[in-house]
Amino acid sequence: MGFFSRKQDELAAAGIDPARLPPGQYLTDRFPVLHAGVTPKVDLTRWDFRVEGLVHEPLVWSYAEFGELPRTQVTADIHCVTKWSKLDTSWEGVSVAEVMGRVGLRPEASHVLVFAEHGFTANLPLADFLAAPNLFADTFGGETLEAEHGWPLRLVVPHLYFWKSVKWVRGLRFLDHDEPGFWERNGYHMYGDPFREQRYWGD
């Protein structure tokens, strides 16, 4: 019996539906960090969140203004392209739906490019970006999100591999086409469905 088959059997024995674990993944109770040394230094007095591209009017929120938006809580499973999964993670922040209720999106918009500190970007089809329970989180497990995990704000898109859940997010650019982000330009899949193992180009 292979490693992943054993893991599926262990889940069933523990009363967890094995269907929650995508193929090729293993469960962890940890929250691994894979990018030592790149955590940005953030000045909240200068921090802003921008919405641009195919919108009727660009928007800018300061940190204080974004923090005044209505908040929500989400519990979701997350799956990293490096093959770990973590079940029932708890997040709190501002839902994507709440933000988008303030955005005048033009009808030709079909994709969003999420941008972050250090020039990082990730692409998403508009329908996936708008899906529940996506949110912009500043809290994880009931505690302020740690800087290494994306504080002061992280996008959370649980149904795709977790590189799409952009850390240190600073804004959104709406497009009428799909445009690869940082990892997508460097070998990762344009979409990233964990249950179809869309990890890399050609998957």
pTM: 0.93
Q: Measured between alpha carbons, how far is 137 from 93 in angstroms, rounded to an integer?
A: 4
Report the domain count for the chain.
Answer: 1
Both tokens assigned to 182: 């940082």
Per the domain annotation, does 178 fall within a domain?
yes
- CATH number at 169 reads 3.90.420.10
Segments of the chain with pLDDT less than 50: 1
Cα dihedral 141, 40, 158, 2 in deg (nearest 10):
-90
Give a yes or no: residue 83 inside a domain: no
Mark out the alpha helices in 39-147 (DSSP H runs). Answer: 63-67, 96-100, 126-130
Q: What is the pLDDT of residue 71?
A: 98
Q: What per-residue confidence (pLDDT) applies to 192? A: 98
Residues 6+ apart with CB under 8 A from 146: 140
Is residue 105, in this structure, part of any structural domain at all?
yes
Domain hosting residue 172, numbered range: 42-74+89-196
**Structural domain contains residue 135:** yes
157 within a domain of the structure (yes/no): yes
72: Cβ contacts below 8 Å, ≥ 6 apart: 92, 93, 94, 95, 98, 135
Look at residue 84 and tell me if it is in a domain: no
Looking at the domain assignment, is residue 5 inside a domain?
no
Does any domain span residue 203?
no
